[in-house]
Chains A and B, each alone.
Chain A
Amino acid sequence: MNIAAQLPVIVLVLPLLSAFAVTLVSLFNKKLAWPLTVLTMTATFLATTGTLCSVIHNGAIRYRVANWAPPFGIELVIDHLSALVAVVISIVALLVAIFAKETIQKDIPNRVGQFYTLFILCTVGLLGETLTGDAFNLYVLIEITSLTSYALLAFGGSRAYFSTFNYLILGTIGACLYLLGVGYLYIKTGSLNMIDIATLIPALSGSSAIFTAFILILVGLWIKMAFFPFHGWLPNAYTHATSTVSAFAAPLMTKVTVYMSIRLMYFVFGPDYAFSQFTGPVNIVWLAVIAILVGSYYALVQTDIKRMLTYIIIAEVGYMVGGMWLGNAIGLTGTIYHIAADAIMTACLFLALGSIAYKLGSTKISDMAGIFKKMPVTFCAFLVGAAGMIGIPPTAGFFSKWFLISGGIQAGQWAFVVALLVSSLVNAILFFRIIEVGFFGADDEDEHDAVVVQRNEAPLSMLLPTVTAAALVILLGLSTSKVTSLLIENIVGSLF
């Protein structure tokens, strides 16, 4: 076996096989489930990194599954974009896998094996979505991710069931619209392979069926990524889930869906087709502006940090959709960079918040009094993530905002620029409110008794991923020029 040639599929097969191994092993010994999961995720991370290196050195890879030539068989397409997203997924999955140990052991001691199996399969689904080059295969993988995430989100407790049910209904509508869009493409082109469809579409650019397919696919993915006005399901579903699950779902689900819409819009329909359909007053960027403003407004009125973060996610989705519809290279660069940056920043915030919730049992802003003295390391990690969300250099969040704003100025979309600045300002207000309570707001009893608050950090298995995520936020910011020159320019350069 030639490992280098098979690497793209090993990225998927390795976690897939070990998911079943985790099921079987945990039937006999539940204690082995967690180490096996962490081992799997580490190996997957190494495999995705290897794939990324191979793509950087040798260019895009097209892998034929079952050795059938496309478009007759299914192929995996690993270019700079999908390799980048795959690495981001495997990093976040590894961090959350390590983080999961204590909370899962505490919450569901007798269902540990099932939890980790679903967790690994969800990661497989996300990785598969990034690597596949087949429009229908993408639907199957969307459903794997969705079904595992319904099961994982629903076990958060009494309120989680109803919010997950709403997510299930809307998520299924979204996936079905996508499937229908693929059907419309298939009926006009006769093909399911993305690259093949891309070569057939220019000849059909006047067709109303292709236009309907475009709308169906876009709307389907918008529902899945919680883009305004389809964002209603997200805040409840992510707030009521347990901290481990929301630390996994919040950074990855929406971001990977944004990746999918870039893949379909730019690589299947092509930028020429996409931008020729929406000219004049009908402009998706305006929808993104509303998404950013709505997300920021609702974030401002929340009293619960976790709920606040979920509304920030909605605003961030607005950033990314707006960036990809600006129609210039720098806007798309900003969107792609923001997929990576936002995934790691959101992971950092949710992991830190999960550690705090594990110790305090609450995520309300009013309960954060004196948190800096109790959990200094965790709170510092939270601050790094917050700095990223506000866009303070040298965190990754600064650079993505920089690209998006420059793109907005270049495209003359001033409303988008203003919305981005407003959103940064709102984020600053939000996080400074928490910082104020965390640093200075001491508990009343502490003031009276003048007792020195004991340090009470979360266990190492939670601290380590949180601090790593915080370090990555800064590291990604510092290596921005490398990421753009090695990876993003390759993709964007081929489109504009």
Chain B
Amino acid sequence: MNLIIAKFNYVLYIVLMMMGLWAMIAKSNLIKKVVGLGIFQTAIILFYISISVKKGANIPIIHHHVDPNHAADAAHMVIDAAKYANPLPHVLMLTAIVVGVATLGLALTIIQHIYQEHHTIEEDEILEQLNQ
């Protein structure tokens, strides 16, 4: 029970991820496979972002009122880490998003070429043409 209530975010990401995996393996339409790929990657992003949540915390931008003439004051500020969410997973997922965009773009390019060669984007029809 604890698994579902206290860790529901992890269960949710797995469900989402398996939807993507299913689309990638079982669908024969290449565009649907790419959509599945997108869901798969998004599930991982959801997983990482949900790690960074802290109950009662705010976005990780430090509130500070430092006099610009005394920038050194910043060094003596006391910062309560519990007030801010964990910034690291956000940074990591920015990278994953960029990689997702790049993969998506290349996949669509290759699909355009496949369509040009085979005049279809159904995997089984392409395989039939290739085996002839």
Contacts and interface: CB of A to CB of B under 8 A. Distances in A.
Interface of A: 136, 139-140, 143, 147, 150-151, 154, 158-159, 161-162, 164-165, 168-169, 172-173, 176, 179-180, 183, 186-187, 192
A159 B114 CA distance: 9
A147 B101 CA distance: 11
Contacts of B21: 173
Contact of B51 (A150, A164, A173, A183): A183
A150 B102 CA distance: 11
Contact of A165 (B41, B89, B96, B110): B110
8 contacts: A154-B113, A158-B117, A162-B118, A162-B130, A164-B110, A165-B30, A173-B24, A183-B51
B44 A162 contact: no
Contact of A150 (B37, B89, B99, B106): B106
Nearest to B10: A187
Interface string B32-44: 0100010011001
B50 to A, nearest CB: 10
A136 B92 contact: yes
B111 interface: yes
A159 B117 CA distance: 8
A71 to B, nearest CB: 11
Contacts of B103: 143, 147, 168, 172
Contact of B99 (A140, A165, A186): A140
A187 B30 CA distance: 34
Contact of A179 (B44, B102, B111): B44
A165 B107 contact: yes
Nearest to A167: B110
Contacts of A192: 88
Interface residues of B, number: 30
Nearest to A140: B95
A154 B103 CA distance: 13
B99 A168 contact: no
Contacts of B30: 165
A68 B96 CA distance: 23
A187 B89 CA distance: 10
A169 B24 contact: yes
B47 A168 contact: no
B126 interface: yes
A189 to B, nearest CB: 12
**7 pairs of A and B residues whose beta carbons are closest in the complex:** A161-B113, A143-B99, A158-B117, A161-B114, A165-B110, A150-B106, A161-B110
Contact of A180 (B44, B102, B106, B107): B44
A147 B104 CA distance: 10
Contacts of A164: 110
B33 A169 contact: yes
Contact of B126 (A136, A162, A169): A162
A161 B106 CA distance: 11
A172 B104 CA distance: 10
Given A154-B110, A186-B89, 4 more contacts: A140-B99, A164-B110, A165-B111, A183-B47
A170 to B, nearest CB: 9
B106 A147 contact: yes
A70 B130 CA distance: 52
A12 to B, nearest CB: 17
